[in-house]
Structure formats: structure tokens, C-alpha cells
Amino acid sequence: MENLAGRTITLVLGVAAIALGLAALLGPWWTFQENTLSPLGSYSGTVDWGLFSYRFSPPPLDAYGTNNYTSLPNMAAVMSVAGSLSVVSLIAGGALLVTALVSGWRRRFPLLGLGLGLLGGVAELGAPLYMMIGLPPAASQDMATILNFISITGFWGSGTGGMLDFRVSLSWAAGWAWYAGFVVAFLLFIAGLASSIGSVTAGRTPKPPHLARP
């Protein structure tokens, strides 16, 4: 007999992980709070760095609101790896849901759900960790003009610098999508574990006496 509790937990957590993972694909993983003063005027706003683009809010006079990473090749490379890991995680999560729905697979491969949950969780966990390590030096290389006055040595921080009549104040921290990556990884780990426990329990259900071998 199927372990409905394990199957239900797998489905609920799997759907939640995929929904949050899809939202995180479009959300900010890193955020700048910028205040600039120059002879041309002043600017105060945020820059949200996503996996596929970055967005100024509000946009400065010389830039679009949303931009791609064409002019920031080092940051683009980091975001590409993190995005690929997130996509792998979503694919594994989708396969985990299919496994939970197809009873034949659960009986024949009782550890398949656990393997998919681990794969998805590890991949999603790797995305924010890789970004935390790779983005600060990548940003320092791609934005050398601005960051000549401020040194970004970590994923969180702040600094102020400038010369003559130019001053810039910058603070940076993780965006909500970065934190969501850890939540998605946790949900996939638990969903995979629930799937495996449910499958193994179902496989060990004793047979009725009239079907048991003598």
C-alpha cells in the first residue's frame, strides 16, 4: 500500500520549491544602494542584480532601467554559472514531482526520489555560494572606474570615496532571491527524503496471509 503521507509531503514541498525557484530566477540576488554627487548632479537609488539582467531604481539619466550584462563580462560569467545551477535544480525538482506521481517508478526505484532531491538541493545550494564568492571580484573588475574609490572585498559591505567634486557612497548586500536559494535547497532535500521514505515503506508492506509464501 502506498505511503500517502510521504507522497503528499513530496508533492507539497516539491511544488513549493519549484514555485520559489522560478520566482528567484527573476528576482534580485545582489543589491547596491548608491548615492553619488558630481558636477552633473546627484543620484540616489538602488541597483538590483539578477541572474539575467540588472535594474536601476530609479534609472539615472544616462542609463536604462533594466540592462543586460553585455558590458560586464566578468559578472555575466558568474551569473551564468549560478543561473545554470538554478535551472538544474528546477529540472531535478520537476523530475522529483513526476517520480512522486508515478507509483511504478517509486516501487522499482525507491531511492530515485532521494537522488533527485539531493541533486536539486546541491545544485541550488551551489548557486548562492558560488555567487557569494565570485561576484565581489568580478564586480571590482567590471566596474573599475567607480570602484577605484571603493573596495568591494565581500558580498556584504559599504564604502565611501571620491576625489575633488565627485563623491560616491555605496552599500551592498544579498537580495531576497539569494536567500531564497537556500530555502529552495532545503525544500528539495526534505522532499527527496520524504519520497525515499515513502517508497521504501511502501515496498516493505507485508503481504496478506493468503498471498504469502509457505
100-133 pLDDT tens trace: 888 766 667 678 889 999 999 999 999 999 999 9
For residue 64, being part of any structural domain is answered with: no
For residue 171, being part of any structural domain is answered with: no
pLDDT of the residue at 203: 47
Percent of the chain with pLDDT over 90: 55
For residue 93, being part of any structural domain is answered with: yes
pLDDT of the residue at 25: 96
pLDDT band at 211 (very low <50, low <70, confident <90, very high): very low
pTM above 0.75, yes or no: yes
134-166 pLDDT tens trace: 999 999 999 876 667 788 889 999 988 877 777
The mean pLDDT of 60-89, rounded to a whole number, is: 89
For residue 77, being part of any structural domain is answered with: yes
- As for how many domains the chain has, the answer is 1
Residue 199: domain span: 4-28+73-161+178-203
For residue 34, being part of any structural domain is answered with: no
Kindly report whether the peptide bond that precedes residue 209 is cis, defined as omega within 30 degrees of 0.
no
For residue 39, being part of any structural domain is answered with: no
